[in-house]
Amino acid sequence: MLKETINLELLDQMVLKDVMDSTTISWEQTLVISQLELAGITYSWVLNIDGSQLIIRKSTRELVSEFAEQMGILDYEMRVFADLYNFDHGIPCVAGEYQLVPTRNKRSKNTTWVMAHHVSVYGVCPNDQLLRIIFKGGLSIKLDIADSKLKTNINRSRNIGAIQIAEDRQFNIFHGAYEAVKSQWGVPNLDESGHHTDEHNKTRVAMAMRQAELKIYYKELFDEEISMADMDRCMKVIFKPFHG
């Protein structure tokens, strides 16, 4: 049964009660985080799976950083994926099955972040032209964004999550962590070396990640951008085959 839809365009009209200066968010239970400003103060509104709502005296950017830190999501890794997938708006924050997706560019002060893996269905309401997002548990929200942008971001985030999950699975198989794979995926085929290689393009992602690391190291050491020629030389040294 669907529950009452929460209109996020009216968040700034809400009466604030029990505002928290800080809290530890249970990200497994989180559906949405959205930002609002009242009397010059920035708050974040959080909606949980059980319908409970939190008001925290922090920006959504701070909460996203907390999510990334807890999940071990590095900034440069998400930017590499953004380049590979040609993101033109809003880079998601993804850790396998946990996919926190922005509805607008991160520079927008009123960006709402949605946990894509909890989304069941979404579509535009004809009476007010707002996008309605219905979650798997029956809760729903409405906000003023284009459904095409949300669809693109959700699809790309799921692709990133699939790559990360496949990498973790292959790592466990390769290193003999049979029980770790079995607990997540069932009994694995231990001869499936190279599984997911074609469908997730692991080599391309690995190369892009290594190049991003080199750019960071070079900038930190020499305070300048690495040239393409130097990048090529470094990559050749790193990936030089062992000759004994």
Looking up tokens 């928290």 gives 20
Query: pLDDT below 50 — which residues of the chain?
Result: 175-176, 178, 181, 185, 187-200, 242-244
Asked if residue 231 and residue 113 are part of one domain, the reply reads no
Q: What is the residue-wise DSSP string for 29-85?
A: GEEEEEEEEETTEEEEEEEETTS-EEEESS-HHHHHHHHHHHHT--HHHHHHHHHHT
Asked if residue 155 and residue 217 are part of one domain, the reply reads no
Confirm whether 150 is domain-assigned. Answer: yes
**Predicted pLDDT of residue 211:** 86
Looking up tokens 């198989």 gives 173
DSSP state of 218: H
Confirm whether 102 is domain-assigned. Answer: yes
Q: Helix or strand or coil: residue 157?
A: helix
Asked if residue 211 and residue 151 are part of one domain, the reply reads no
**Predicted pLDDT of residue 2:** 55
Confirm whether 206 is domain-assigned. Answer: yes
How far apart are alpha carbons 36 and 179 in whole angstroms?
45
Confirm whether 58 is domain-assigned. Answer: yes
Asked if residue 142 and residue 216 are part of one domain, the reply reads no
Q: Could you report the per-residue pLDDT of 36-50, keeping only the tens digit for each?
A: 888 888 899 999 999
**Predicted pLDDT of residue 149:** 84
How far apart are alpha carbons 86 and 106 in whole angstroms?
16
Asked if residue 42 and residue 123 are part of one domain, the reply reads yes
* 225: containing domain: 201-244
DSSP element (H, E) containing 6: strand 5-7
Confirm whether 24 is domain-assigned. Answer: yes
Q: Helix or strand or coil: residue 94?
A: strand
- What pTM, to 2 d.p., does this model score? 0.72
Asked if residue 216 and residue 136 are part of one domain, the reply reads no
Confirm whether 13 is domain-assigned. Answer: yes
Give me the phi and psi of 66, to 5 degrees please: -65, -40
How far apart are alpha carbons 113 and 121 in whole angstroms?
16
Domain count, the chain: 2
Confirm whether 72 is domain-assigned. Answer: yes
Residue where a domain stops, chosen among 163, 192, 221? 163
Asked if residue 211 and residue 100 are part of one domain, the reply reads no
